[in-house]
A and B are shown apart, each in its own frame.
Chain A
Amino acid sequence: MSRAAQVWPPVVFGLGALVLWELVVRATGVPEFLLPAPSAIAQQLVAAFGTVVATALVTGGNALIGLVAGFVLGVGLALLAARSRMVSELSTPLVSAAAAVPIVALAPVFTTMFGSTTELPRRLVVTVVVIVPVFVSTARGLAQVAPVHHDLMAALAASPAQVSRFVRLPGAVPYIVTGLRLAAPAAVIAAIVAEYFGGLQNGLGSRITSAAANTAYARAWAFVVASIVLGLLFYLAGLLAERVVARTYGY
């Protein structure tokens, strides 16, 4: 199937759905608080474009910083766990348990702990959300050393550090990038949801709640659209990283 043939059906479907939405809203007169028309949302988006971009940058910035911090910590922790049995036994159950905990529930706690006038609590929530998938997939990648590579490095009299550098870490890169791909959209979700629990009023999540509270429903939806775009951007960036690595690794 050609690329165009893959791209067009969902695009046409999406446009058709928007048109239908607009028609249904106009024909039936659905109240605005229930569902504003796409045209009304678009109007708000244009009118408040500067604000939308500024708030998206704040939330996107929090998501990115949290993503980077969580990525570094997740990979670092997995590396330590691969090297040290003790770290592995301490951290693996903790991280597994963290996977089961709804981490955004920590947001109000962090806000109280670190103050409601900084971005720090939100970035922390994102960081904790990101660590889990990155740690799990990195640890899995680091554990996958083919027996023949083991023998080869032993025959080459390589030190454990050299085995990590030449085999373990590069061999884990596809797994690490998959963890990043999974974590990237989750980082945006965490950054937005964390804003729902108070603190600074400068991001997408706070703007959505305040617009909705002020009965500016179309405006709230305009910020929702921006959130969707932001999430898609992070998702696509992760996908691109994965593709690039897959090409280098020959599969």
Chain B
Amino acid sequence: MTGTSRTDRAAAVELVGVDKTFPAAGGGAVQALTGVELRLGPGEFVSLIGPSGCGKSTLLRVVADLEQPTAGTVLVGGKSARQARLDQDYGIAFQQAGLLEWRTVAENVELPLHVHGVAKAERRARAADLLALVGLADFAAHRPSQLSGGMQQRVAIARSLATRPKLLLMDEPFGALDEMTRERMQAELLRIVDETAAAVLFVTHSIPEAVVLSDRVVVMSPRPGRITDVVDGRRPRGTAPGGELFDPGDVVDAVDGVRESAAFFEAVTEVRESLRKGSTVSGPLTVDTAAPRTRPTSASEEGS
């Protein structure tokens, strides 16, 4: 779809000096994001982590062009965020699966293609491939209400992949799942991301989840929402871009291996300490512009 070499080489996401201010009740303003600098390379998996109100979801929504930044530049695959949205260059999954209950599972996966007028036969074939990818081939004709929460979320992920995006935006997609399902979904997601070579921007509350999935974990802090640190994640080797593909079983093993490794615990500790530091330097607990506005650590220099 967007197979020009220029867009392939461009960063999946590039944020420069992004601010976002929401008008607050009572006439004031809430500084949701200040001075955000972030760059995602092609195929890179980056998690955003931080306490509630740190602007991580807002940041994701700015990339998705669901919110307009107050200041700064947002480039997605080298285009403006709006153009990328209009061109369907990214796929998105939310905390709620958000399936349309009057459509079958397959029709839900087809939705992005249906909206954009892809012929029925092609849609059907694509949905069948995607449902096989997320392990739900046998449920194509089911209704969403007949599926468990984890299965619904897998359908939502399949739907986000329908237009073969080079970027996946995920806003706590596993937040509502129980721990066991969640761990299985994490392994599943890494395998899918491998197969599609997509870059991922992943919002989460969970430190272990961020560490096990990501190439880099971006730590954010509230009041005002900003990036305070970037920690190397422990995404299993071989699932990185250009790495060897795993069999589904191998991915589960690799992820389990990471979860039990010393390096994993080190990274978890590092993220945790970073989060704690971020919350102590965030200044007074009131919303005002007098809060420290130090230039945040630039994420783009750290990873590459």
Contacts and interface: CB of A to CB of B under 8 A. Distances in A.
A154 interface: yes
Nearest to B142: A250
Contact of B114 (A166, A170, A250): A166
B203 to A, nearest CB: 13
12 contacts: A146-B96, A151-B92, A151-B98, A155-B85, A156-B112, A158-B115, A162-B115, A166-B111, A166-B115, A249-B101, A250-B144, A250-B146
Nearest to A155: B92
Contacts of A156: 88, 111-112, 115-116
A148 B102 contact: no
Contacts of A148: 94, 96, 98
Given A154-B66, A157-B88, A250 B101 contact: yes
B228 to A, nearest CB: 27
Nearest to A157: B86
Given A162-B115, A166-B115, A250-B143, A152 B94 contact: yes
Given A155-B92, A250-B146, 18 more contacts: A146-B98, A148-B98, A149-B98, A151-B92, A152-B94, A154-B66, A156-B115, A157-B86, A157-B115, A158-B115, A166-B114, A170-B103, A171-B102, A173-B102, A248-B102, A249-B101, A249-B102, A251-B145
Nearest to A151: B66
A166 B66 contact: no
Contacts, number: 58
Interface residues of B, number: 24
A189 B143 CA distance: 38
Nearest to B95: A148
Interface string B119-140: 0000000000000000000000
A151 B94 contact: yes
B220 to A, nearest CB: 21
Contacts of A171: 100, 102
Contacts of A158: 115
A162 B102 CA distance: 16
B64 interface: yes
Contacts of A95: none
A2 to B, nearest CB: 25
A152 B173 CA distance: 14
Interface in A139-173: 146, 148-149, 151-158, 162, 166-167, 170-171, 173
Contacts of A151: 61, 66, 92, 94, 98
Interface of B: 61, 64, 66, 85-86, 88, 90, 92, 94, 96, 98, 100-103, 111-112, 114-116, 143-146
Contacts of A157: 85-86, 88, 115
Interface residues of A, number: 21
Contacts of B100: 149, 166-167, 170-171
A166 B112 CA distance: 11
B1 to A, nearest CB: 14
A146 B96 CA distance: 10
A162 B86 CA distance: 14
A-B pairs, 6 with minimum CB distance: A250-B145, A148-B98, A250-B143, A155-B92, A148-B96, A170-B102
A151 B101 CA distance: 16
Nearest to A154: B66
Nearest to B144: A250
A24 B103 CA distance: 57
A241 to B, nearest CB: 15
B162 to A, nearest CB: 10
A148 B171 CA distance: 11
B77 to A, nearest CB: 15
Interface in A220-237: none
A167 B92 CA distance: 17
A151 B169 CA distance: 12
B64 A155 contact: yes
B275 to A, nearest CB: 27
Contacts of B61: 151
Contacts of B144: 250
Contacts of B111: 156, 166
A5 B96 CA distance: 41
Contact of A152 (B98, B102, B103, B145): B98
A149 B114 CA distance: 15
Nearest to B113: A156
A151 B94 CA distance: 9
A165 to B, nearest CB: 9
B85 A152 contact: no
A171 B88 CA distance: 24
Contacts of A248: 102, 143
